[in-house]
Structure 1
């Protein structure tokens, strides 16, 4: 028979077992982790979608420009048709004048008399024959003029149809290209702001989403130093004044749409990735010679802290996070990783063979 004094020991043993079981990961928590991975993958999808739509938009723009040049050729052809039509209309007017002149001449010369009347009124057979020849020649001239006028009118009608078809084809082709371009740009704009929404959420939470791994461009043949974005319009420059800055502007702004790939200007490594503060999402790189470059107001980053980068490698995508009044890249060159040590980025890049003109 078991001793009743051993039963109280079961309680602590059961509590320890329950504590161990509670500390182990459950199937529910693993599912949450998988959901977070799926969410991250979905987030990365919008970054890639923006880049793909940029490529589609570039192709559509090229097609649109090619179509526009083709439309100019068609327009010139249609104008030539119109000029031909004008000449033909003037020619028909001349033919009609000739017909009227021939008809008036016949009336004055009696060309309209019937043959019986001419035979009665003729003084001699020779006069009769001369009159007949004149009548036949007049009739031949009239018939030729009428045939020529009819052929001209038929050509005019055909050319008018060609001209109308040319204008209709021009309008159709131009409309199709414009609709294609507009559709892609609308999709791109929607994707851009979806990407920006994710970035704003990260900044609000003060937590970066982590590097988004995108298909990087080939950088092997690139120069040692490049501009931070490939295509841009310069906006606020270094040292410029304004209400948006406490003192003077500390960098060079590049006006680019949301999602534009931002490039490392030179070889270096990532010393900072931050998602809060006035610069929003930012990346800071360290380069040889004791210089640092900053890329701010991003919508996403494509590198991790400590990672080495090559000239032209994408380090992020532009956006309008932080204290930003619109989509652009804020680019700085510093002698320390932190703000307050900025130098003129345009001059700095120019000394390395990169002109921002």
Structure 2
């Protein structure tokens, strides 16, 4: 009997970007009366849960890999046991055929009675003992191997069942976090769209800031990201050329100031949707656009890594991302290549 082995693929894929590494401290927020700050904090809290869930998922994936290895080893033992039993059955068959050829199928006792001399009788007794011993040994080995095979088949079936249950648990963790994030992100983006349409920002969502204190003066505007449209790239979405660097991140991702500075603009209307502009030492300005929420006030001083907003898709945006610019003035049209600007400051995107 072959063990029943599930054919469902092992869950080894990592979680999506939303689950991949936004490890921030516990977040609370205060905002305007309609609770927009609370929604933003809920998204950040879910990202924190997602980060923990991602670690659980990875630990579970490793356990599942180990369990799969155990199940495969048991399958190999089963195959070897089946081969051993086939060999033992072959031995029994050869013994039976040899006995039939030498004794004509007569019982051993009859052949002993027909012996012509004491010497032939003694030889016959020895042959009988040897044949009986060989048969007994072969039968004992065969039965022992069959019992061991049945036990191994049971172990293998149990191992695959454990693996199946673990896969279901991991899938449930992933679905639960994704469902919560999607709901909270939708609410946050809906409120952001209303603000952008009205051209008036709600009060900033005062999120608890991360505990990390950056020793380097400059950092990327988001922690975990993929780069999409770059500076100077062409496309029908822009009047001439793309004026910044896009970071592909999910709605609600904390957006941080790339360096120390002062907030010189908080706006919620126009092609950039919700945006924040920060002035830095040296006369450069950085812009953070298409946000779903802002977390600072105009005129506020910010430190390196301080959250200035949460990413979204407000304004002229085709999907969730952060549009980031480095400018020589607060106004559009004075942008420089962010990647080169970061590289000069020891930051590689």
Give the alignment's TM-score, normalised by structure 2: 0.88
Partner of 1:319: 312
230, 239, 243: which one aligns with 2:236: 243
Bigger CA radius of gyration: 1
185, 190, 194: which one aligns with 1:197: 190
104, 119, 126: which one aligns with 1:133: 126
Pick closer, same or farther for the CA change 1:191–1:144 going to 2, 3 Å.
Answer: same
2:293 is aligned with 1:279: no
CA deviations over 1:114-150 (Å, ceiling 9, x no partner): 4663354221223222212211221121111101100
Contact 1:219-1:311 at 8 Å conserved across structures: no
Pick closer, same or farther for the CA change 1:114–1:282 going to 2, 3 Å.
Answer: closer
* Distance in 2 (alpha carbons) for counterparts of 1:208 and 1:47: 14
Where 1:237 maps in the other structure, the secondary structure is coil
Contact 1:74-1:166 at 8 Å conserved across structures: yes
2:43 is aligned with 1:50: yes
Contact 1:284-1:293 at 8 Å conserved across structures: yes
CA deviations over 1:300-354 (Å, ceiling 9, x no partner): 0000111100000000000000011100111111111111111111111111111
Contact 2:32-2:203 at 8 Å conserved across structures: no
269, 281, 298: which one aligns with 2:262: 269
62, 79, 98: which one aligns with 2:91: 98
Structure 1: state its 5+ residue gaps: 1-36
Contact 2:277-2:286 at 8 Å conserved across structures: yes
Contact 1:111-1:135 at 8 Å conserved across structures: no
Partner of 2:149: 156
Partner of 2:337: 344
Q: 1:107: Cα distance to partner?
A: 1.4
Contact 2:251-2:310 at 8 Å conserved across structures: yes
Q: 1:102: Cα distance to partner?
A: 0.8
Partner of 1:207: 200
2:270 is aligned with 1:307: no
Higher helix share: 1
Partner of 1:144: 137
Partner of 2:63: 70
RMSD between superposed Cα atoms in Å: 1.7
Contact 1:222-1:312 at 8 Å conserved across structures: no
Where 1:40 maps in the other structure, the secondary structure is coil
Partner of 1:328: 321
Partner of 1:10: none
CA deviations over 1:250-296 (Å, ceiling 9, x no partner): 11111110000001000001111001111100001111111111101
Partner of 2:13: none
Contact 2:276-2:294 at 8 Å conserved across structures: yes
The structure, 1 or 2, with the larger RCO (C-alpha pairs under 8 Å, 6+ apart) is 2
Pick closer, same or farther for the CA change 1:39–1:211 going to 2, 3 Å.
Answer: closer
Pick closer, same or farther for the CA change 1:39–1:349 going to 2, 3 Å.
Answer: closer
CA deviations over 1:18-77 (Å, ceiling 9, x no partner): xxxxxxxxxxxxxxxxxxx99636322211111111111122222222222222222222
Pick closer, same or farther for the CA change 1:312–1:118 going to 2, 3 Å.
Answer: same
